[in-house]
Homo-oligomer: A and B are copies of this chain.
């Protein structure tokens, strides 16, 4: 997760964040991108649309973001700059359920769900949006890992638990239903996802792989063990 202004292809030597004119322009563009994405989808999003809805001139948009792909990627980068931290309920079981329920709550409100859904959809069309989405989730899951590292500190989880894999396991059944199988999710599915991940933690399934009994040892690096890992 490097400096976002670099990812968006902006030269931005004079970007005075937060609060300057450049920051205001960036949020205006972000808002227009979100409106366009959620109302019309990525394929219908144009520089003209963003110019009209942000009040920022087309030449500025082209100069600073290069085009639609850059603006979508930057909107995602901006979304990743929030101060969100994972829940801290005092137990791993509680934290994992709280994480899963946050996902369900976030997507039960269509107005709330529209933007993240549009970003996931845009990534199928735009390589730059896909890169930005990957960065966004890498950072988001990195923050989530804290609930697992705290649990390890408390002795609630095996010492070498792969925190990145655990927090992905909690969200995965929800994201599967939201974005792939398009089935409804509710608190019951959230709790089940959290409890399943917890059971796997307790069974030692998320131990960082060096060697594992049974079955041929898998080739290649362990993906769940992200480079940004704790």
| Residues of chain A in range 26-81 having any CB-CB distance to chain B below 8 Å | 41-43
Please tell me how many copies of the chain the complex holds: 2
B186 touches A196 (CB 8 A): no
**Chain A residues proximal to chain B, CB less than 8 Å:** 41-43, 97, 117-118, 120-121, 123-125, 130, 133-134, 137-138, 141, 165, 168-169, 171-173, 175-177, 179-193, 195-197, 199-200, 202-203, 205-206, 209, 212, 215, 218-224, 226
Of the A-B pairs whose beta carbons lie under 8 Å apart in the complex, a sample of 14, sorted by A's number, is A43-B125, A118-B124, A121-B121, A121-B125, A168-B181, A172-B175, A179-B179, A183-B223, A185-B223, A186-B219, A189-B222, A189-B223, A191-B215, A200-B200
B175 touches A176 (CB 8 A): yes
In the complex with contacts A43-B43, A187-B218, A182-B134 CB distance below 8 A: yes
A181 touches B224 (CB 8 A): no
Shortest Cβ distance from residue A218 to the other chain B in the assembled complex, whole angstroms? 3
Interface of A is mostly: helix
In the complex with contacts A125-B41, A195-B205, A120-B180 CB distance below 8 A: yes
